A = this chain, B = another copy of it.
Amino acid sequence: LAEILIGIDLGATNVRVGALTPSGEMLYVDETELDAEGSSQTGLELIARMVTLVMAQTAGARLLGLGIGSTGPTDPMRGVILDPGTLPGWRNVPIAAFLSKRFEAPACLENDADAAALGEYWMGVGQGMSRLYAVTVGTGIGTGFVVDGEVYRGENGFHPEGGHQIVDPSGPECYCGGRGCWESWASGSAIAQAAQRVLELWLEHDRQEASGAPVIGQYTPQSILLQMAGGDPARVEAKFVTKAARQGDPIAAAVIRAASERFATGIFNIIMLFHPDMIVLSGGVMRSSDLFWRDVERVRAAAQVSVPAQRIQIKPAQLGYYAGVYGAAYAAWRRFHGSGRPVSSANASTDGR
């Protein structure tokens, strides 16, 4: 056992740290809950302890480098976590420099969606794909575009936010500045909120009837979805909606249908704008990707009228929760040891910034 890479996936609620060989074998992986409200100092020390623990399991191996995939926004060029809304205590945190100094090895940082995309390219479903477009549908929608193993970066290294392309401007306003963007229609939050709004209206109607108001129309006497949330619309989660939709709950089914249709519009746009070799779908909502598949296939067939869309593979991700760990390790390998052109020459190394 000669050489290892450390891959770190830093999310809003969990940290995962893995030790991998340069050929992509995961030797050991650890996971810990993170206090999202805590300070970055506490968080960095937690991560450092996890790295030490994981490295102890691979005693004697030489550390080739550390990669971090982090909830954004990040500055991958400088290796700095900027100001993630999901980690309010982390602001301008030079995590790559911190880990590089602590472990005396080069370290680099990627946005989590990019890390997940790299993971699927390296060891997942996207192996050998020259142009791999990854879409992660969880609380939000994150996108990562990997071209010949390199993360596509925008101006000044900025990570594009493909999850905020507008797919139907009749949708809700979003914090992104747009109205009816992909995330506002099809993310887990969007699905939960849409269901919450309908259930609240429904309960209001019930209350009016109970108070003696005249009955207008016929309503379903019970909602499986509302039962799942213990009778409180505010407690509805996206996973309840997908589950209730499968059981035939009409509100849940209508919400999923609306989300699925707009999700597919976003896929249509990725086909038209990027024409990648493969689109890979991951994230919590995509664990129910079968509910979205009919619309995805519909838009691909529609696009085939004018472009060779059927040649584009559209697949669920393979690496699940660990895509980010794989991808972060691969980013470090590729940047510091790979034969390809480095992803960036300006990232943190051992200079202790």
Interface residues of A (CB under 8 A from B): 130-131, 143, 154-156, 158-170, 175-178, 181, 265, 268-270, 272-277, 299, 301-308, 311-312
Contacts and interface: CB of A to CB of B under 8 A. Distances in A.
Given A160-B274, A275-B154, A269 B166 contact: yes
19 contacts: A154-B274, A159-B275, A160-B273, A161-B306, A162-B272, A163-B272, A164-B272, A164-B307, A165-B165, A166-B268, A167-B169, A168-B168, A168-B169, A169-B265, A178-B302, A178-B303, A181-B272, A269-B273, A270-B273
A29 B301 CA distance: 43
Contacts of A275: 154-155, 158-161
A272 B301 CA distance: 25
Contacts of A169: 167-168, 265
A58 to B, nearest CB: 37
Nearest to A264: B166
Number of copies: 2
Contact of A131 (B130, B154, B162, B305): B154
Nearest to A301: B177
Nearest to A154: B275
Contacts of A170: 170
A142 to B, nearest CB: 12
Nearest to A307: B161
Contact of A276 (B155, B181, B268): B155
A170 B167 CA distance: 11
Given A155-B276, A175-B306, A273-B274, 15 more contacts: A143-B273, A158-B307, A158-B308, A160-B272, A160-B273, A160-B275, A164-B306, A165-B272, A166-B265, A169-B265, A176-B303, A177-B301, A177-B306, A181-B272, A269-B269
Contacts of A307: 158, 161, 164, 176
Contacts of A165: 165, 268-269, 272-273
A156 to B, nearest CB: 7
Residue among A165, A176, A181 having the largest count of chain B Cβ atoms under 10 Å: A165
B155 A277 contact: yes
